[in-house]
C-alpha cells in the first residue's frame, strides 16, 4: 500500500478505536505518522520493503519495547500504551504491504525470501469478463482492521495492569474475561 494510504487509514482506524477520547488528538496523528516510517526504506539507498519492513523492526523490537515498558514503568502508563500502539501500527503496515504492491522481505537480513500475498483473490467470470469478489487489497485491509482493533482495548489492558501491578500476561487474561462478560451482556 502507498505511504499516504498508511497515514490516512491508520488515522481513521485510531479515531475509530477512540484513541483520541482517552488521549490527546495528537495521539492518532502521531501514530498515523509513525505508521508511515517503514517506507523510509524507499529512500537513501536502502532496500525498499526490506530494511524497515522486516519482522525485527515491525514486530520483535516493538514487542521488546512493550516488555521493557511493562517491566520498568512503575508509575504512569504512557510508555506502555505507546509501545503497544507502536506494535499495532507497524505490524498493520507490513500486513497491508504483504497484500499490495511489491514483495516484502520479512525475515531480512536472515533470509531474503520475499512474501507476496497478492494472489489471494477471488473473481467470477461472466461472459468473458472478470468481476472481483475478494481482492488482495480488501483481505489486507480486513486483517489490518483486526490488528488495529487492539487499540480499542488498549486502555482497559494497561489500566488492569496498572491497578493490579501484575504482569502483562495476567492483564491480558483479565482483559479476555472482561471482553467475555461484555459479550454476555444483553
Ligand atoms: Zn511499506
Query: Residue length, the chain?
Result: 186
Question: Which residues of the chain are under the pLDDT cut of 70?
Answer: none
Q: How far is the CA of 87 from the centre of ligand 1 (A)?
A: 15
pLDDT value for 21: 73
Do 160 and 169 contact (CB within 8 A), yes or no?
no
Q: How far is the CA of 54 from the centre of ligand 1 (A)?
A: 10
Q: How far is the CA of 49 from the centre of ligand 1 (A)?
A: 6
pLDDT value for 166: 82
Q: d(Cα 172, Cα 176) in Å, to the nearest integer? A: 6
CA distances from 44 to 1, 40, 66, 73 (A): 20, 8, 29, 35
Q: How far is the CA of 14 from the centre of ligand 1 (A)?
A: 18
Q: For residue 121, what are the contacts with CB-CB under 8 A and spacing of at least 6? A: 132, 134, 135, 136, 139
pLDDT value for 28: 93
Using CA atoms of 59, 103, 136, 120 in order, give the dihedral in degrees to the nearest 10. Answer: -100
pLDDT value for 183: 85
pLDDT value for 139: 92
pTM for this prediction: 0.87
Using CA atoms of 92, 95, 101, 106 in order, give the dihedral in degrees to the nearest 10. Answer: 120
Amino acid at each position: 500500500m502507498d505511504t499516504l494510504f498508511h497515514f490516512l487509514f491508520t488515522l481513521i482506524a485510531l479515531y475509530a478505536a477512540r484513541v483520541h477520547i482517552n488521549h490527546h488528538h495528537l495521539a492518532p496523528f502521531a501514530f498515523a505518522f509513525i505508521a508511515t516510517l517503514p517506507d523510509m526504506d524507499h529512500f537513501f539507498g536502502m532496500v525498499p520493503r526490506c530494511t524497515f519492513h522486516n519482522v525485527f523492526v515491525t514486530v520483535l523490537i516493538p514487542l521488546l519495547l512493550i516488555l521493557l515498558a511493562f517491566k520498568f514503568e512503575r508509575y504512569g502508563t504512557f510508555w506502555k500504551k505507546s509501545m503497544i500502539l507502536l506494535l499495532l501500527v507497524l505490524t498493520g503496515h507490513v500486513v497491508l504491504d504483504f497484500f499490495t504492491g511489491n514483495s516484502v522481505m520479512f525475515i531480512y537480513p536472515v533470509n531474503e525470501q520475499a512474501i507476496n500475498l497478492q494472489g489471494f483473490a477471488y473473481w467470477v467470470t461472466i461472459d468473458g469478463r472478470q468481476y472481483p469478489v475478494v481482492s488482495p487489497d480488501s483481505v489486507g485491509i480486513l486483517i489490518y482492521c483486526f490488528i488495529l482493533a487492539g487499540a480499542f482495548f488498549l486502555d482497559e489492558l494497561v489500566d488492569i495492569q496498572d491497578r493490579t501491578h501484575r504482569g502483562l500476561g495476567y492483564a491480558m487474561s483479565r482483559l479476555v474475561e472482561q471482553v467475555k462478560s461484555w459479550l454476555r451482556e444483553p
